[in-house]
Structure 1
């Protein structure tokens, strides 16, 4: 709709500086958390090792950031609050960026929408302060100050009151500020950060010491929780000039939302769709629908390979080779999960221990056991009393030969993490003894994963069997979509889906994977196109094939209710130790739980 009156030529005007600053501030400062992010990043660029943040009323009334960085001279202060003035770059190469900030817009933008006071002093210089109110800059004046910089921002958006209506409540804005600080704290383990809200300290992360391999886990344990580190695998992979490090949680340590996913590119926390999609793809085969993995990943590369100058908030990046970045993340995660093998989350054991409840002493009359007769223990070394729900292995039944081994007679292996089978209960759970505890295995879930991994390995060796369509199917697409889907035709053919151009925007489907019966190929192709448009790649066909293999594995595995022999149980344990991703079944559920002997003894009051 044209809102201009006919035959009236619009007048082009030069906006005044105050209006231009307020418009720029709308891009950089969306909410109090945005202001905190810009100020803390400035402190980090100044070499600060200690940063204290104080806010009031969710940051709407006051934001105060104090650091011990290099500080500024009185001559630098007027430049610091003018637009496009920065000490981070010289303007010769906008890709050679190695600092958090570089635009020179944060401080003037904050001064345009609030009441800004900056007090700073260098190590050997004199302190000075400058004030900016609604875009009006005052003169620099002498002030008492410690080395470093203190930035106070009061009455955020007082100059643009309409923006205040779009802010959320104090609690929500405070949580956004805290989340921002947590992300920056994970990226900078050697820097101490605190957050004080309305006079109460709610977040503290003291500077860590030691090398990075010690400092980073300690910082993540402080912020993400000790259980994250205990249930995470470390990653270190490199490809095509990109290096990925960090920690990714085991599939059994997952969340109901993507709140435990933190991605960093060259030390900068980002929320990048490409990397988030790669993270999901890396866990696609081990997590059920609705569950999200936890990870803190650091992708580093030459600054020339990534462009951070795509958005004023600098939360998005663009890679020169996006598929190389995505491929590195997916491959590193899958390799790490395969290397984790049978590992399972320690939080599962804690949940199992928490489920135990000591029976009340008065709930049942105590009946003392009769004293054994002399020599009774020597005469009956193996006393078997039927217990409801407890299924002895066939080799342990009463009709066994005298020299047949019982589950308890199996030697306890010293180099096998899942131990030796001792019993089978409720015809579904294997009880195994390890050197330092007890392992409970879900036989059906465990065998399902083993069969699934074998089927996938067979498919990888022999390829996906195709079936030729008696009548090829023509799918009408736009010329752009046809070009996009044909660009990955070779990859689709490796997965059993053969497509060819058919003129214009149409493609013809000639072969499909034999295992995918009743396939709606046009719908699948359009879904793949949606993935390509959103992420630049698609794992949808592979996921469909894996789902079929998973279903076959489920029906071909050991069923619940089947009694297993001692040898069968031990063979299953040994296979689990050798098989990648055996710590969870195809649906993302755990296959085993370990209870430490010390925890079991604590349940019975044997240990404090």
Structure 2
């Protein structure tokens, strides 16, 4: 078979397969051209999910009469002129092939008027046949009208989904570009009905309009910089995360991207505070010099490559992780926090802009050292029905001096601590809260290579599997570094001589068996390296105060103060909330006060 040069129309149709996989892809390319042209008002009209028609009108700088034909020619663009330009692309589009690819598979009408032109000019193209420019009427800007997408490539058209599905993809494209460009007004209509109207506004207002008020209420603002690298935007509070990944938006230099490195960095930042398979939501804007990122990686331009990928990864990880790990101390509980499935309940996480210094290793509650000597002014009694009642809820200094989590009022069914703060009622899961406190102290101690051990008065012997005994024998010194002093007394028995001091109230047998189970599954070396935190979380769970443990009011208050000073204190080690806030306003509404 002889080699031949392909016709230009066929070349464009092949290119269209890479650039225009569905109506949303064509819409994205056109909208990016409008934004590159400086448009501040963009109107989008769709019919049949964009399959029948995509019409975009903007008020950008427009296209000159003599350049209308060039705009529809492959690899013709005003955005780059040299390799140097390509290496530091500042525009959304730059290849100059999108319009030509679209024109090869649809009926296209392109009309435009420059700001200084007397009137607009218009060209039409169908099946590669381009008309001569003709006068037209419109204000400054450009209108592109695409009809019957894939009309001449029926095999490709068969791969399109239902109208509702294609429209949903188009609407998501508009929302993404609207998030990145709050200074631009967008109007989206479908089959003659307006579906979305966004006026030019602030970034925060645009996020609220596009992602909803629930997202806004449940987020923490991010703003961090390292040299020329900067990230700003919003990330979801851990207690409001869901199983969906739909609300994950990242923009690099104004371009929406799907980058595995960024996703991994953010997932790692949430790893210690998310429950099971929940996913965080976020809307983040990353900016860096154009020459530090390669956007010419994929035809759809959603994939990029950073020149210093590790540096970007670590920057994002630390910027978000620092916010999520911040303790409650020194923060006011926000009135507009999130509302979860339990009506009126707000998840217990309030983050300042900067995390406090790491906690020093000190005595975990033994259970907790009594705080009565600090003059808290509490007197308590046991009702005999599972609730310890406080006779005096607040010190005489008044509500305004209350710490973020307030002062304990009672213990409910041996599981929950009820406390009063300036905003209203605080409910605490005492096991989950203490579990996080112990976990963070174990991490800090291990990082400092200073895990104090509690020697057992009488060593505890337990029978183990022969394989487990053989596995731990070479690693007894490593286990001693985390507070466990074990000795293999026979091929099937182990003696426990000491346990981590922070876990001294736990059952040493159950604690040791938990370690041996982890060792059997992962091995000691891996357990103390990549799975270190998972091991410490398991140990903290065993060492945390159990349900039905009666606490005195001073002990409850000691737990509240520990929570306020503990990083990531709003979630337990498994990502469940440790406390909720119910405001006085919500309580009044429950009892219809003031009506």
**TM-score, normalized by length of structure 2?**
0.79
Tell whether the 8 Å contact from 2:572 to 2:578 is kept in structure 1 after alignment: yes
Secondary structure, counterpart of 1:255 in structure 2: coil
**Pair 1:97 & 2:89 matched:** yes
What is the CA–CA distance in structure 1 between the aligned matches of 2:519 and 2:574, rounded to whole Å? 22
Taking the aligned partners of 1:385 and 1:266, their CA distance within structure 2 comes to 61
- Equivalent in the alignment of 1:192: 185
- Is 1:391 aligned to 2:388, yes or no? yes
Partner of 1:378: none
Cα shift at 1:577: 1.4
Pick the aligned partner of 1:123 from 103, 112, 115: 115
Which of 348, 351, 359 is 2:341 aligned to? 351
Q: Distance in 1 between matches of 2:214 and 2:594?
A: 22
CA 1:164/1:347 → structure 2, altered by over 3 Å: closer, same or farther?
farther
Correspondence for 1:441? 428
Q: Which runs of 5+ in 2 are unaligned?
A: 346-378, 453-468, 476-480, 483-514
Task: Map 1:334-483 to 2 at 5 A.
Answer: 334-339=321-326, 341=328, 349=339, 351-353=341-343, 386=383, 388-392=385-389, 406-407=392-393, 412=399, 414=401, 416-462=403-449
Q: Please tell me whether the aligned partners of residues 438 and 596 of structure 1 are also in contact (alpha carbons under 8 angstroms).
A: yes
CA contact (8 A) 1:96 1:304 kept: yes
* Residue 432 of structure 1, CA deviation: 1.1
Residue 297 of structure 1 is matched in structure 2 by 284
Question: Over the residues paired in the alignment, what is the CA RMSD in angstroms?
Answer: 3.0
SS state at 2:324 partner: helix
Partners of 1:13 and 1:347 in 2: CA distance: 66
Cα displacement (A) at 1:518 = 1.9
Q: CA deviation at 1:312?
A: 1.1
1:246 match: secondary structure:
strand
CA drift at 1:223: 1.2
Does the 8 Å CA contact 1:407/1:566 hold for their aligned counterparts? no
In the TM superposition, residue 235 of structure 1 has moved relative to its aligned partner by: 1.6
Q: Distance in 2 between the 1:259 and 1:349 partners?
A: 20
Query: Which structure 1 segments of 5+ residues have no match?
Result: 1-9, 209-214, 356-381, 397-404, 474-493, 496-513, 526-539
- Residues 327 and 436 of structure 1: is their aligned pair in 2 closer, same or farther, counting only changes over 3 Å? same
The secondary structure found in structure 1 opposite 2:266 is: helix
Separation in 2, partners of 1:541, 1:35? 51
Q: Is the 8 A contact 2:380 2:552 kept in 1?
A: no
Q: CA deviation at 1:270?
A: 0.4
- Using the size of structure 1 for normalisation, the TM-score is 0.77
1:510-560 deviation digits (Å, cap 9, x = unpaired)? xxxx985225459x98xxxxxxxxxxxxxx985521111001111111211
Q: 1:591 aligns with which of 571, 578, 581?
A: 578
CA contact (8 A) 1:442 1:591 kept: yes
Q: Aligned pair in 2 of structure 1 residues 95, 195: CA closer, same or farther (>3 Å)?
A: same
Q: Equivalents in 2 of 1:341, 1:434: separation in Å?
A: 13
Q: 517, 520, 530: which one pairs with 1:518?
A: 520
The equivalent position to 1:172 in structure 2, one of 158, 162, 165, is 165
Aligned to 1:576: 563
**Partner Cα distance (2:258, 2:344) in 1:** 36
State the 1:334 CA deviation: 0.8
Q: Deviations over 1:384-432 (max 9, x none)?
A: 895844234xxx6xxxxxxxx6456676462522111111111111111
Select 2:534's aligned residue among 532, 547, 559. Answer: 547
Find the aligned partners of 2:545 and 2:521 in 1 and give their Cα distance. 29
Give 1:436 deviation, angstroms.
2.3
In the alignment, the residues of structure 2 paired with residue 98 and residue 542 of structure 1 have an alpha-carbon distance, to the nearest angstrom, of 42
Structure 1 position 58 matched with structure 2 position 49: yes
How far has the Cα of 1:28 moved from its partner? 0.6
| Residue 106 of structure 2, aligned match among 103, 109, 114 | 114
Alignment partners' CA distance in 2, 1:37 and 1:463:
55
1:19 to 3, 10, 15: 10
> 2:238: which partner in 1?
251
Deviation at 1:45, TM superposition (A): 0.4
The 1:306/1:146 distance shift into structure 2, 3 A limit, reads: same
Residue 434 of structure 2 contacts residue 544 of structure 2 at CA under 8 Å; is this kept in 1?
yes
- Displacement of 1:290 in angstroms is 1.2
CA 1:77–1:288 in structure 2 vs 1: closer, same or farther (change >3 Å)?
same
Check the 8 A contact 2:388/2:410 in 1, yes or no.
yes
